[in-house]
């Protein structure tokens, strides 16, 4: 008997019974596909979780030509939830499940579009006002109290649970190293929990300590001043960017191998966001614009130092 063949492009299973001189085609119901598991090509992504990570690295052609420097970005919008945060979420939830916990509730402050998506996916979203961390009504404390009061709920605590940075040490960092063939001079990250910069930064440094890890900070955050001057002092303004900027050094950020920090204004972030839209064809959010604006700033600063003979 000729075994079934799975067509990678369509998901159609073909039984090629040449002996019977005819072909049958049928859709494989999800449940029964397990009988063919050993035949599924490696390139298949296994369901929703299989879609997390392994995102392409995009070269921004126009920006790279303009700056004379290869500027690339991870296409994190291709994660199934549409953001880099899927990586941390996967590790936080995996850890909770391994400990026998489960969670069906969540709490956050965020834009309406994201709340709509989460509601559609079945989440119970409780928006709360944004107040400082030392206020008991800060969303972290509310989320913890909320989870404590509900059976079968957990507070994943992405800020201080280091499963977050482990996700980036084990996934994002190795992907970047492999996709650049290790030819990478610097990485820039805006920071919310600190998971991405700490995890990717540590991994890349373990491969090549000369890779520079740069924190990109928006208006109203303390991290620029902290890494530049050692003081937890808020910078001027209050950024429109979402999910980045921080008022404290989270556990995920502690010990992160950060070489330098750059401050990016909202104006600079928004201008770059529109550049990426009009000149590169990518419709991304302002935190992505801010990251790329930071990369250009780092490039310009290095160029200046090289021209002045301060760096070779
Ligand atoms: C849109 C966006 N970009 C970047 C970040 C920062 O990533 P990390 O939390 O790993 O520092 C976040 C975090 O929530 C985010 O929502």
List pLDDT tens digits, range 179-223. Answer: 999 999 999 999 999 999 999 999 999 999 999 999 999 999 999
- Between the CA of 187 and the centroid of ligand 1 the distance, in Å, is 15
pTM (2 d.p.): 0.84
Angle between helices 266-275 and 286-307 (to 10 degrees): 100
CA of 56 to the centre of ligand 1 (A): 18
Distance between CA atoms of residues 20 and 11, nearest Å? 23
| Number of the ligand 1 atom closest to the C-alpha atom of 168 | 10
State how far the Cα of 233 lies from the Cα of 238, in Å rounded to an integer.
13
Q: How far is CA 204 from CA 64, 112, 172, 305, in A?
A: 22, 35, 10, 24
d(CA 291, CA 187): 9
From 139, 8, 167, 25, select the one nearest 83 (Cα to Cα). 167
Instruction: Say how far apart CA 208 and CA 173 lie, in whole Å.
Output: 12
Q: What is the pLDDT of residue 8?
A: 31
Minimal-distance CA residue to ligand 1 atom 1 = 243
Mutate to test the pocket of ligand 1, among 83, 163, 216 (most ligand atoms within 8 A of CB): 83
**What distance in angstroms lies between residue 208's CA and the mean position of ligand 1's atoms?**
25
Atom number of ligand 1 nearest to Cα 199: 10
Contacts of 211 by beta carbon, 8 Å cutoff, 6+ apart: 184, 185, 186, 187, 204, 205
| pLDDT score of 153 | 86
Ligand 1 center from residue 194 Cα (angstroms): 8
DSSP bridge partners of 105: 124
Pocket of ligand 1 (CB under 6 A): 83-85, 190-196, 242-244, 285, 287
Closest-lying ligand 1 atom to the alpha carbon of residue 88: 10
**What pLDDT is recorded for position 18?**
39
**Residue 301 in contact with residue 69, Cβ under 8 Å?**
no
Nearest ligand 1 atom to the CA of 194 is: 11
* Residue nearest ligand 1's atom 12 by CA: 243
Tell me how far the alpha carbon of residue 243 lies from the centroid of ligand 1, in angstroms: 5
192 C-alpha vs ligand 1 centroid, how far in Å? Answer: 5
Measured in Å, residue 153 CA sits from the centre of ligand 1 at 23
Of ligand 1's listed atoms, the one at least distance from the Cα of 159 is 9
Distance CA 195, CA 69 (A): 27
Site to probe by mutation for ligand 1, drawn from 75, 106, 216, 244 as the one with most ligand atoms within 8 Å of Cβ, is 244
Q: How many angstroms separate the alpha carbon of residue 303 from the centre of ligand 1?
A: 29
Tokens of 267: 């104006």
Give the whole-angstrom CA distance, residue 219 versus residue 233. 11
Q: d(Cα 196, Cα 77) in Å, to the nearest integer? A: 15
pLDDT by residue for the chain (312 residues), tens only, comes to 333 333 333 333 333 333 333 333 344 444 444 445 566 777 889 899 999 999 999 999 999 999 999 999 999 999 998 899 999 999 999 999 898 876 544 544 467 888 888 889 898 888 888 888 899 999 899 999 999 998 888 899 999 999 999 999 999 999 999 999 999 999 999 999 999 999 999 999 999 999 999 999 999 999 999 999 999 999 999 999 988 999 999 999 999 999 999 999 999 999 999 999 999 999 999 999 999 999 999 999 999 999 998 876
């Amino acid at each position: 008997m000729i075994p079934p063949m799975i067509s990678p492009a369509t998901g159609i299973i073909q039984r090629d019974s040449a002996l019977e001189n005819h072909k049958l085609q049928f859709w494989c119901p999800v449940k029964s596909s397990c009988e063919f598991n050993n035949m599924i090509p490696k390139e298949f992504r296994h369901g929703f979780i299989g879609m997390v990570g392994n995102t392409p690295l995009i070269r921004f052609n126009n920006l790279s030509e303009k700056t004379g420097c290869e500027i690339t970005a991870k296409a994190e919008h291709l994660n199934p939830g549409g953001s880099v945060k899927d990586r941390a979420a996967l590790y936080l939830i995996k850890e909770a499940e391994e400990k026998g916990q489960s969670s069906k509730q969540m709490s956050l402050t965020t834009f309406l579009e994201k709340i709509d998506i989460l509601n559609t996916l079945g989440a119970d979203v409780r928006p709360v006002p944004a107040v400082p961390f030392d206020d008991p009504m800060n969303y972290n404390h509310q989320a913890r109290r909320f989870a404590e009061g509900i059976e079968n709920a957990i507070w994943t605590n992405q800020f201080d649970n280091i499963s977050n940075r482990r996700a980036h040490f084990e996934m994002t960092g190795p992907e970047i190293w492999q996709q650049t063939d290790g030819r990478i001079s610097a990485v820039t990250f805006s920071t919310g929990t600190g998971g991405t910069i700490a995890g990717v930064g540590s991994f890349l440094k373990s491969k090549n300590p000369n890779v520079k890890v740069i924190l990109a900070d928006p208006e109203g955050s303390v991290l620029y001043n902290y890494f530049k001057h050692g003081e937890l002092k808020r910078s001027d303004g209050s950024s429109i960017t979402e999910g980045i900027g921080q008022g404290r050094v989270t556990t995920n950020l502690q010990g992160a191998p950060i070489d330098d920090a750059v401050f990016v204004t909202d104006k600079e972030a928004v201008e770059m966001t529109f550049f990426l839209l009009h000149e590169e064809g990518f419709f991304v959010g302002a935190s992505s614009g801010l990251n790329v604006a930071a990369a250009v700033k780092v490039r310009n600063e290095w160029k200046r130092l090289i021209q002045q003979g301060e760096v070779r």
